[in-house]
Structure 1
Amino acid sequence: MSLFWRIFSLNAAVLTVAALVLLFAPVTVSATARLAEALIILAGTAVTLVANAVMLRVGLSPLARLTRVMTTIDLLRPGTRLVARGQGEIAQLITAFNAMLDRLETERASSAGRALSAQEAERHRIAQELHDEIGQTLTAVLLDLKRVAKASPDPVRDQLLQVQESTRNSLDEIRRIARRLRPGVLDELGLASALRALAGEFTTAGLAVRRQVHSDLPVLPKEVELVLYRVAQESLTNAARHSAAQHVDLVLSEQNDGGVRLCVRDDGRGLRGAPEGAGIRGMRERALLIGADLSVESGVTGGTSVQLSVPA
C-alpha cells in the first residue's frame, strides 16, 4: 500500500470511529442524536475525509513525481532534474536527490573518460603491434615466397603463387583491422580525410556511402575529432551489419552556434523498438565526454538517423 493510502486509511479509520462513538455511545451531552443530527455528522465526516484526501494528494505529489523520475532516470541522458516543490522534508529530499544525480553524472563521466582513454591506448598498442610485428612478418613471408617461386618448377610455382596471394590478402586484412583500431589518417591528415577514408572503406564493402564534409568547419580539439570519428564509424558499422541498408548519408557541418553536427542517416529497416545495444551506449558515453548531444531515432520514411551535436 502506498504512503498516501496508508495515511488516508489511518485518518479515515480514526474519523469514522469518532463519528460512531458520537452517534451511538450511551453517554451524550444532552440527548441521544436524532436522524437529522446523525446525517449532519455523517456528512461532516465525509467532507472531512474528502478534504483530507485532497490535502494528502497535493502534499505527497512531489514524492510521486520523484518516484517516476527515479524509475526512468538514465545517466547516459543527463540533465533530468526535479523542481524542489513541497514542504519541509519533501523539498529537502528532492534537493538531495538532485545533488546525488549531479555527483553520479560527474563520477560517471569521469570514470567513462578514464575507461575510454585506456581503451584507445590499448587499441593504439594493438594496432602498432599488428602493423610492426605481424605485418612485417607477413611481408617477409611474401618476399620468401616470391624468391622460392622463381626457383621452383611450374606446378609448384603455381601453388606458391596461390599461397602468396592468400598471404597478401591476409596482410591487407591485418592492415585494415589496424586502421580501424587506430586511424592513423586522423592524426596525420585530420578529421575530413579520416571520414573520407572511412566512407571509402565501407563503400568498397558493398554499402553506398554519400559523404558531405563542409570545408569551413572550425578547428576542433583532438578528443572531439576522435569522438566524431568513432560515432561515425559505429553508425556505419551498425548500418552495414544490422539495418540491411543500401545507402547511407554522412554529413558533417557547422552549426549556427559555432559547433559542429554529425549526421549519419541510412535507408534500412530502422530501430523497430529494439533496445539500445552496447554500440549505441558506447556512443552516448563518448558524447558525454565532450558535452555533446546524441540522438538515435528512426527516420520518418524509414531507416535510422544518428545525430551528434557538439557545442562550440
Structure 2
Amino acid sequence: MSLFWRLFLLNAAVLVAGTGLLLLGPATVSTPVLATEALILLVGLGVMLVANAILLWIGLAPLQRLTRAMTTIDLLRPGSRPVVTGHGGIAELIKTFNTMLDRLKAERATSSARALSAQEAERHRIAQELHDEVGQTLTAVLLELKRVSDQAPAPLAAALHQVQETIRDSLDEIRRIARRLRPGVLEELGLLSALKALITEIPPHTGLAARCHLTNDLPELSEAAELVVYRIAQESLTNTVRHARATRFDLTLQRVPTGIDLRIRDNGQGLGRAPEGAGIRGMRERALLIGAELTLGPSPDGGTEVRLHVPARDESR
C-alpha cells in the first residue's frame, strides 16, 4: 500500500470514528448550541486531532530517520545504515536508499582505486626522472666543479667549493623527494624497514623527536595494504611537521587479534575546528580501498591521534 493511501485511510478512520460517535452517542447538537454540547464537540475534535497526529507521527517516523541519515551520511566515513522499518512505500524507500549507498560506495571505491593507482604511477615516473635526469645532471655538475676548482686559484677555489656544497645539498634534497614519491625501501625491504626509514627522514631543523614502536610478528599483508599503511603514516608525519607545531611524534604498529593497528600521536595543537583538507580525505579514501577503519581525534597529550585498523586477510578467499 502506498504512502498516500496509508495516510488517507488513517485520517478517514479517525474522521469516521468521530462522526459515528456523534451520530450514535447520546450527545445532540441544539440550535442555538448549548455550552455542554460545544464542550463535547471541542473535546471530541481535540481527541481526533491528537489521535491523528500520533498515528501520522508513528507512520512517518521512519521517513524522519531516513532524512537524518541522508543529511549526515558520508561515504568516507562508513557507519550504520538506516534500519528498514515501516510498511509499504516507506520500507521500500529506505531499502532503495541503502541499495543506492552500496552502489555509490562500490563506484567510489573503483574510481578511487583507479585515481590512486594513476597517482602512484605518476609518482613513480617523477621519482625516476628526478633520479635519472636531474640527479645525474647535478652529479655531473659537481664533478666538473671539482675539476675546475682543483685548477683554480685559492680565492676562486673557495667560492667554487661553496657552490659545490650548495649543489650537493640540492642533490640530497632531490633524492629525499624521490624517496618520498617512490618508497623503494618498501618494495625491497618491507613495511617495517620503510617506516623506520620514514622516521629518520625528519628534517633536523623541525625539532621533532620521533619514536617508532614496531611489532615484528605482523600478519601477512597485501602489497596494497602495506602501501596504504605507509602512505597514511607518511601523510600523518607530513601534517605534524607542517601544521601541528609538535615536539614529539610517536608511531606504533602492532598486531591485534583481528589484524594490525597503526597508531600515530603527536603533542601539537590538534585538529581544532578546521575542515578536513585533501590530505586527510585522501587518507580516508586509501583506508576504504582495503576495507580498513581510519579514525582521527585528540591525543591524550593534547595533540592529534590517527588510528588505522587493517583487518587480517581472509585466507579462504
Spell out the pairing of 1:213-228 with structure 2 (5 A cutoff).
213-228=214-229
2:37 alignment partner in structure 1: 37
Deviation of 1:30 after TM superposition, in Å, equals 8.2
Asked if structure 1 preserves the Cα contact closer than 8 Å seen for 2:266 and 2:301, the reply is no
Spell out the pairing of 1:158-237 with structure 2 (5 A cutoff).
158-202=158-202, 204=204, 205-237=206-238
**Of 211-220 and 28-37, the range deviating more from structure 2:** 28-37
2:103 alignment partner in structure 1: 103
> Under a length normalisation based on structure 2, what TM-score does the superposition of the two structures give?
0.88
Secondary structure of the residue that 2:295 maps to in structure 1?
Answer: strand
The residue type paired with residue 239 of structure 1 is: T
1:117 alignment partner in structure 2: 117
The 2-side partners of 1:298 and 1:228 are apart by 20
2:141 alignment partner in structure 1: 141
Secondary structure of the residue that 1:270 maps to in structure 2?
Answer: coil
1:243 alignment partner in structure 2: 244
Deviation of 1:80 after TM superposition, in Å, equals 3.1
Asked if structure 2 preserves the Cα contact closer than 8 Å seen for 1:265 and 1:305, the reply is yes
1:129 alignment partner in structure 2: 129
1:89 alignment partner in structure 2: 89
Deviations 1:82-133 (A, max 9, x none): 1111121111111100000000011011100100000000000000000000
Deviations 1:272-305 (A, max 9, x none): 2222111111100000000000000012341100
1:256 alignment partner in structure 2: 257
Asked if structure 2 preserves the Cα contact closer than 8 Å seen for 1:73 and 1:80, the reply is no
Secondary structure of the residue that 1:82 maps to in structure 2?
Answer: coil
The residue type paired with residue 255 of structure 2 is: E
The 2-side partners of 1:70 and 1:180 are apart by 39
Asked if structure 1 preserves the Cα contact closer than 8 Å seen for 2:244 and 2:269, the reply is yes
1:25 alignment partner in structure 2: none
What runs of 5+ residues in structure 2 fail to find an aligned partner? Answer: 23-27, 313-317
Asked if structure 1 preserves the Cα contact closer than 8 Å seen for 2:29 and 2:37, the reply is no
Deviations 1:210-241 (A, max 9, x none): 00111111221111111000000011111111
Flag the 1:300–1:84 CA change in 2: closer, same or farther, 3 A: same
The 2-side partners of 1:35 and 1:54 are apart by 28
The 1-side partners of 2:224 and 2:30 are apart by 87
2:25 alignment partner in structure 1: none
The 1-side partners of 2:102 and 2:244 are apart by 36
Asked if structure 1 preserves the Cα contact closer than 8 Å seen for 2:235 and 2:279, the reply is yes
Deviation of 1:32 after TM superposition, in Å, equals 5.5
The 2-side partners of 1:206 and 1:196 are apart by 18
The residue type paired with residue 167 of structure 1 is: I
The residue type paired with residue 209 of structure 2 is: A
Secondary structure of the residue that 2:308 maps to in structure 1?
Answer: strand
The 2-side partners of 1:159 and 1:102 are apart by 65
Secondary structure of the residue that 1:236 maps to in structure 2?
Answer: helix
Asked if structure 1 preserves the Cα contact closer than 8 Å seen for 2:293 and 2:309, the reply is yes
Flag the 1:239–1:311 CA change in 2: closer, same or farther, 3 A: same
